[in-house]
Chains A and B, each alone.
Chain A
Amino acid sequence: MLDFSIMADAFPNLLKGAGMTGRLSILILLLGMMLAVPLAYARNAQSIWLHGPASIYILVIRGIPSLLQVFIVYYGLGQFSFVRNSALWPIFRDPFWCVIIALGLNSAAYTAEIIAGALRQVPKGLVEAAQALGLSWFQTQRKVTIPLAVRAALPAYENEVILTIKATSLASTITLLDLTGAARLEVSNTFAPYEVFLTAGAIYFCITTSLSWLLRRFEVRLSAGHRNEERRVKEFQPVLPGIPDH
C-alpha cells in the first residue's frame, strides 16, 4: 500500500526541512522568552499603567489565530511605504524573519501568562521573609522568587515549547521550506501525499516526543528533594491547562 521508496527518497529533503524547523523554533522561543519576562512582571504589577497594557496585549494575541498574525506581519506591513522605505525593510521582506517576529510575539503572550502565574504562586511569606532579612528587590527575585517560579512554570512551559515547534509549520504558508514546506514540495513533485506527509508527521512526532521526554526529566531533576513542591508543580495549571493555544 505505502511506497517505501518514495519515503526514502523524500527523507533527506525532509530532514533539511526539519533543520529549518529547529532554527525557527529556537529563535522564536528565545524572542518569546525575552519579551515574556518583562511582560509577566508588568502583568503582575500593581500599577494599572503596567498591568493594563500587558493584559490587553496578552488578551489580543490569544484571541487571534497565529496564522493571521503571520499574515499581518508578512503581507500586511508591506502595505505601508514608510515600512518599505525604512532600514528594516530587508527584515520585513524576508519570510524567515517575519515568521520569527510573528510567532515570537505570539509565544511571548502565552509564555508571559505562564510566568506570571508561576510568580503569583510563590508564597508571600517567603518574599516577606527575604525582605525582613534585608534583601533588596533584585536579590529577592534572584534568590527566592525566580528559583521557585521556574520550577512551577516548567510543566506549562514544556507544553509551550512543543506548541511552538508545531506552530513553526505555519512558516510553510509563506513560502519557507521548513519540514511542512519541504513535505508540500515533495508532494507536488511525487503526488504521494500519504507517504510524504506520514514521513513528515513521524519526524515531527520524534522531535516533539523526545523533547517532551527530556524536558520532563529535567523537571523531575529540578524538583528532586522537593516532594511537596513536586506535587504542587503537578497541580499547577496555567490559565489554559495542557491545551494547545496556537
Chain B
Amino acid sequence: MTMDWLSGYGLQLIFGAVTMLSVALVALVVGTVLGISLGTAKIYGAKPLRYSAEAYTAVVRGVPDLIVIYLIYFGGTVALTKITGQYVDINGFAAGVAALAFIFAAYAGDIFRGAIGQVPRGQTEAAHALGLSPRAAFFRIILPQAWRLALPGFGNLAIILIKQTSLISVIGLEELLRASSVISGATRQPFLVYSVAAILYLIITSIVSWGFRNAGIRSNRGFA
C-alpha cells in the first residue's frame, strides 16, 4: 500500500499538481494581459470600445465558469471542424487555459481599472509636461504605480484561478482533481485520495497567498 503510493499514485498526484500549476500560470499571464487591456479600454477607450468591455465583464460575471469552459471546449471543436472540414479534437490544455484566461480577464479588468483610476492625475500631467508620449506615460508612469494598488485584488484573483483549474477536469485534462478521481477509482479509497488532494490545494493556495501578502508589504515600502 505504502509502496503503491510512493511509486505510482503519489507521482500521479504530483504530475496532476504540476499540470494544474502550468494551466494556472499560462492563464494568469494571458488573463493579465487581457485584463489590463480591458481595464484601459474602460478608462481611456472610445464609447463603443468602453461599452463592449463593460458588456464582456457583465456577461462573464453572470454566467457560471463551467458554461464558459464547455462553450470554448465543445464549441471550439465544432467551429474548428466546420472551418477545416475534418474532425478536430481541441487540446484540453489550450481550451482550459483560454477559458480560465477569459474569466480571469473579466475580473482583473475591473481591478486594473480601479488601480489605474487611483493613480493621481498629477502623475499623468507631469508626464505630459515632461514631453512623454501618452503611450510612454502609460507604460512607464501610470502602470507601474497601478500595479502596487492592484496587487491585493490581483492576488485574490490568482488564488481563485488556482482553485478554478479544478473545473478543467470536466473536459478531461488530467490536473490535480482529475488525477485524484482516477486514483480513487483504482484504489477505492475516494475519501483518502480526495483529502490528500485537498491538502495539496490548501498548501499551494496558502503559499501563493503568503507570497502575495509579502509582495504587497514589499511594494508598499516607503508609502505611509
A residues bordering B, Cβ < 8 Å? 60, 63-68, 71-72, 75-80, 162, 166-170, 172-173, 180, 183-184, 187, 191-194, 197-198, 200-201, 204-205, 208-209, 212, 240-246
Residue positions of B touching A, CB distance < 8 A: 58-59, 61-68, 70-71, 74-75, 77-79, 107, 110, 153, 156-157, 160, 163-167, 169-170, 177, 180-181, 184, 188-192, 194-195, 197-198, 201-202, 205-206
| Complex: chain B residue closest to A77, CB-CB | B191
SS class, residues of chain A in contact with chain B:
helix
Closest B-chain residue to A178, C-beta based?
B64
Cα A172 to Cα B67 with chains together (Å): 11
Contact status A67-B74, CB under 8 Å: no
Provide the bound-state CA to CA distance between A198 and B63, in Å: 10
The reply to whether A197 and B160 form a contact with Cβ atoms under 8 Å apart is: no
Known: A67-B167, A194-B75, A201-B63. 13 other contacts (CB 8 A): A68-B180, A72-B195, A75-B181, A77-B191, A166-B63, A180-B64, A197-B71, A197-B74, A197-B75, A201-B67, A243-B157, A244-B61, A244-B65
Contact yes or no, B184 A75, CB < 8 A: yes
B188 surroundings in chain A (CB, below 8 A): 79
* Chain A residues in 8 Å Cβ range of B180: 68, 71
Whole-angstrom CA separation of A201 from B62 in the bound complex: 8
B160 engages A245 (CB within 8 Å): yes
Q: Counting chain A CB atoms within 10 Å of each CB, which of B75, B157, B197 scores highest?
A: B75
Considering only CB atoms, which chain A residue lies closest to B110 in the complex?
Answer: A242
Of the candidates B107, B110, B166, B195, which one forms a contact with A76 in the assembled complex, judged by CB atoms under 8 Å apart? B195
Quick check: A80 and B177 within 8 Å, CB to CB?
Answer: no
In the complex, what residues of B have CB within 8 A of residue A80's CB?
191
How far is the CB of A241 from the nearest CB of chain B, in Å?
6
B62 with A72: CB separation less than 8 A: no
CA distance A172 to B69 in the complex (A): 13
Chain A residues with CB below 8 A from B197, complex form: 68
